[in-house]
Structure 1
């Protein structure tokens, strides 16, 4: 069955969906997005992702296209309509994208008023990332810093990922296969290229504050689990040397959930470390789904792909 998307008021086949060349999201990058995932075909924390999407709209001064509840209902309907397109054992990335709409031309009426709204379902990269749950993810400090909060607020999830992509490409030149962890402007750790980062030292979980990093929805779940399990937690500045001296580490993201780090720079970690393993198990219990087993079911021993 062909996948459908929802675009500006209609469900259409993905292959037929098209944006005008004068869309401001394409021309100037005036767009925000958010991505949730499904577990066993069921949307996880959809309302929380929509809330964050609307905070992104507010941060970049774009208007709300519709009430949150309506966007969430359309998202759930799209998942239901695409159910037969989901292959056995797989799940979706579920993304909402909102742009500033069409660029006005002098003396011409717009063909459509208001923002562009797209909702899409994309198969999770289970095959491409399966090995990470067996071998762990290698990570390293990027040279290029995260865009400072004074320039672009980190809580705005915009479609402009050039900062992170450049950091990853530069790192690829010296450490092929390693995931980039970007520093902030002071040299402390900020976040990964599309993920949040955690380290564990002497039983204490450390993660950068969301003043320098996107406040990930999965990150928030892990922080809640640390408190529930009474795992010592420190949210704040994490220096690169602290990360290199850590006992274990892991990344969080919508698709990965929690995935252990194999290394940071030249420091090797157990895969997974004991605290990481405990949090992974607690996360699976929280969502009612064994996400690690899902990934490992697609482990073919091939090359793994980075976060971007």
Structure 2
């Protein structure tokens, strides 16, 4: 079966789907995107992702391509036409098609919207075998990483370096020696004192939707944590570390630059939070009464 894409109002087979060579996404990376996980046909944390999309669009002054309700219909239709039970749906909005000039085009240019979906593996039932290794890389991205822009070249180069080193992820380090985030994930630690920590939101990191969902669950469970940054030395000395993202969920980080974190095994806090998020994404979590 041919995969189906939504491109500016039309559902098309991938082989027929195309955008203009003067689309500003192609010319300038002038656009934003979202990746929403799909499990058992459900869009996971859809509201968080669409809220973030709206924020990203607002930050770079692109008008929404359609209403939120209409976008929800398109997302589900793309998932349905591609018969995706478990996987992801990708949406990208650019400023549209216009003559190649750096300033924004004159009013009247419509934003461009592309939506695709693909199948993927279901979240594992346990974190064993889900752990990964990472390398460290200098954070060479622009100063507004809180916007989910399609301009991802530094991330691409960091992930390629990780692959060439036999690792899964690259953990990015700023000029002061502090961890910002992974090339495609937020980073958490259980520090040497046993405190669960992740960096506070700000321009240096993406406001991860899985991060936000997990923080909500921590509040419901009265699990103490701190939104407080940490250094590379803190990460290396941590008892446990893990990543959160729309495709990794809670993913144990077991080795960094070839050395184990903690004892190199999935730790008890990571194991508990993996299980907590798993019930959330599966839709089986029983929330406490207000």
1:6 CA drift (Å): 1.1
Q: Is 278-287 or 182-191 further displaced after alignment? A: 182-191
The alpha-carbon distance between structure 1 residues 204 and 82, as it changes in their structure 2 partners (threshold 3 A), is: same
1:15 CA drift (Å): 2.1
Q: Which residue of 1 aligns with 2:94?
A: 99
RMSD: 2.7
Q: Which residue of 2 aligns with 1:183?
A: 173
Q: Which residue of 1 aligns with 2:260?
A: 267
Q: Which residue of 2 aligns with 1:192?
A: 182
Count the aligned residue pairs.
Answer: 275
1:102 CA drift (Å): 1.0
1:228 CA drift (Å): 2.4
Q: Is 245-254 or 64-73 further displaced after alignment? A: 64-73
**TM-score, normalised by the number of residues in structure 2:** 0.85
1:271 CA drift (Å): 3.2
1:264 CA drift (Å): 2.3
Name whichever structure is richer in helix by fraction.
Answer: 1
The alpha-carbon distance between structure 1 residues 172 and 35, as it changes in their structure 2 partners (threshold 3 A), is: closer
Q: Is 36-45 or 197-206 further displaced after alignment? A: 197-206
**CA deviation vs aligned residue, 1:38-75 (integer Å, no higher than 9, x gap):** 11121112122111112111112222211222112211
1:156 CA drift (Å): 0.8
Alignment of 1:268-283 (within 5 A): 268-269=261-262, 270-283=264-277
Q: Which residue of 2 aligns with 1:296?
A: none
SS of equivalent to 2:98: coil
The alpha-carbon distance between structure 1 residues 4 and 135, as it changes in their structure 2 partners (threshold 3 A), is: closer
Question: Structure 2: which 5+ runs fail to align?
Answer: 285-290
Match of 1:217 among 165, 184, 209: 209
Whether contact under 8 Å (2:95, 2:112) holds in the other structure is: yes
Question: Structure 1: which 5+ runs fail to align?
Answer: 291-308
Q: Distance in 2 between matches of 1:126 and 1:185?
A: 37
Whether contact under 8 Å (1:191, 1:197) holds in the other structure is: yes
Q: Distance in 1 between matches of 2:100 and 2:242?
A: 48
**CA deviation vs aligned residue, 1:137-178 (integer Å, no higher than 9, x gap):** 111221x214253xxx222101111111223344556x4325
1:113 CA drift (Å): 4.1
SS of equivalent to 2:129: helix
